[in-house]
Structure 1
């Protein structure tokens, strides 16, 4: 199973990138996965060389291909002007609208106040609804106080990560029925989750 973490932050160091990495790591503890990461601090300049998918160069095409080929996406963004970043939007503008149908997605964000967390429901989730992706119910949101420097240190946010990952595996049966595919490692984890 291919898991791809995408950080929509365009600066480094990044609390958003750290949250995305923590979620991908938690998925890796629960199943045998092939994990990769796209950091828009690096990828955005490559992607902005093209305004349309048919104008992507080889490096840009490789980034978009990685998104389209992933079985699971973990997508995070800092809240910027009441939404996700423009760099992240541009990436998904380049993704084929049919490519993410039925794919599972965990959503994450970082922001300045707890109220900024509403972006996840009002901006982020509808984006993946357009693609026909299956977003897990629990989102992961953190503010600056949840970190020690750039490392997550709030157990409540850690608990949300674990809950989101558990829901990811709980969603597998419905997704597998829709796509006809079931990964063996996920079948095992899904049964264990159901038994608990």
Structure 2
């Protein structure tokens, strides 16, 4: 059996909730990934570190739990980045956390993007907000993102066949993308001005 792929799931909700739709969406994505590839999973949740993160103006000022979260994100071989949508974009503290990631840390790292929002009108957040954010870090954002609304859930279950199909497709495509990479040696990082 091949070694497990280090998958880090970043839950970008600044408020903690066991019923978080963003967390539920990620759990379903991870279940589908587990069915396709051997993964080891680390979960990074914004909520427990949000207050201390907000007090730091630069990475050298962050508290140890924030530094651990950043190091975990930077170690990902596949990053699942999921966030709720507030007023048409991701939360400010989510962006603040991403701002502290080392510029070279996610180069060529595959990133599966996901978001939840109150209605379909926020669905473009994946392509208009999240994709450019991770592209700046030279991460490889995977083509299939997943967006969900409250109507897609019934408690902790997904009641939307369309959303379930999208989750399966995203996991299938992500697995197809990372499986060959997991066996290959990483290429040396080239820097440009």
**The two structures share one fold, judged by TM-score above 0.5:** yes
What is aligned with 2:9?
5
Among 85, 100, 103, which residue is 1:97 paired with?
103
Instruction: Determine the structure 2 residue equivalent to 1:194.
Output: none
Residues 153 and 159 of structure 2 are in contact (CA less than 8 Å); yes or no, is this contact kept in structure 1? yes
For residue 111 of structure 1, report the CA deviation from its aligned partner.
1.1
Partner residue in 1 for 2:74? 68
Give SS of 2:124's match. helix
Match of 2:186 in 1: 179
**Is the Cα contact below 8 Å between 2:110 and 2:139 reproduced in 1?**
yes
TM-score, normalising length from structure 1? 0.85
Contact 1:77/1:110, CA 8 A, preserved across alignment: yes
Residue number in structure 2 paired with 1:138: 144
TM-superposed deviation, 1:150: 4.2
Q: Does the 8 A contact of 2:33 with 2:175 survive in 1?
A: no
CA shift at 1:180, angstroms? 3.9
Is the CA contact 1:108–1:120 (under 8 Å) kept in the aligned structure 2? yes
Q: Which residue of 1 aligns with 2:122?
A: 116
Asked if 1 retains the 8 angstrom alpha-carbon contact of 2:84 and 2:91, the reply is yes
SS across alignment from 1:97? coil
What is the root-mean-square deviation of aligned Cα atoms in Å? 2.0
Gaps of 5+ in 1: 182-196
- The answer as to 2:171 corresponding to 1:160 is no
> TM-score, with normalisation over the residues of structure 2?
0.86
Query: Residues of 2 paired with 1:27 and 1:45: CA distance?
Result: 31
Q: Is 44-53 or 117-126 further displaced after alignment?
A: 44-53
Residues of 1 paired with 2:106 and 2:185: CA distance? 13
72-81 or 47-56, larger mean C-alpha shift:
47-56
CA distance in 2, matches of 1:41, 1:55: 18
Instruction: Say which structure is richer in helix.
Output: 1
**Counterpart-to-counterpart distance in 1, 2:142 and 2:41:** 19
Give, in whole Å, the separation in 2 of the partners of 1:178 and 1:123.
31
* Residues 52-74 of structure 1 deviation map (CA, whole Å, 9 limit, x = unaligned): 11112222111100000011111
SS state at 1:179 partner: coil
Which residue is equivalent to 2:191? none
- Counterparts of 1:167 and 1:63 in 2: how far apart (Å)? 26
Q: Which residue of 2 aligns with 1:38?
A: 44
**Superposition deviation, residue 103 in structure 1:** 0.5
